[in-house]
Amino acid sequence: MNRRTALKVVAGGLIGGAGVSILTTAFKPEIPPVNKQKKLELTAPDPNWEYRKLDPVVTANLAYHGYDEGSCMYGIVNSFISQLAAKFGEPYASFPIHMMKYGHGGIGGFGTICGALNGASSLIGLFVDDKAIQNALIKDLF
């Protein structure tokens, strides 16, 4: 390619790019905000993650069948949370149970930690806020 042709190509590219830029911004509608901004005030949520007694036979059955949906960790946690959500509503009904599916196959398939133990430990952490008591219960569990 000679120098003159190269300059024509470069100039054409610059003109074409500028034209596209002008057209895309010239016909862009301005959308005003629907509501005025409000100052949000953070209030601490008051979830009552209170331990409530459940039927162990129902819980075991739900955990067994929950395995097919998301593996061991999901099955364990879902067996508790789903019953609590059905009986008591919030805050259990809003629990993002799908997140427990990461525990499949020993955390993401790496085979490192048993999902049943990991799930049960997460429930202990959810319902017991004292670290010493958590550790004692998890030690007994393992």
68 & 121 share domain: yes
pLDDT along the chain (142 residues), means of 10: 68 63 65 68 65 92 92 94 93 92 89 91 92 92 92
pLDDT at res. 2: 74
What CA–CA distance (Å, rounded) separates 57 from 59? 5
Say whether pTM exceeds 0.75.
Answer: no
Task: Check: CB of residue 69 under 8 Å from CB of residue 78.
Answer: yes
Domain boundaries, position 82: 56-141
Same-domain pairing of 64 and 115: yes
Confidence (pLDDT) at 61: 94
The answer to whether residues 103 and 27 touch, using CB atoms and an 8 Å cutoff, is: no
Q: By CB neighbour count within 10 A (0-12 exposed, 13-18 middle, 19+ buried), where does 122 fall?
A: middle
Residue 8 forms part of a structural domain: yes
Both 95 and 137 in a single domain? yes
Q: Are residues 73 and 117 in the same domain?
A: yes
Q: Are 63 and 79 in contact (CB under 8 A)?
A: yes
pLDDT score of 74: 95
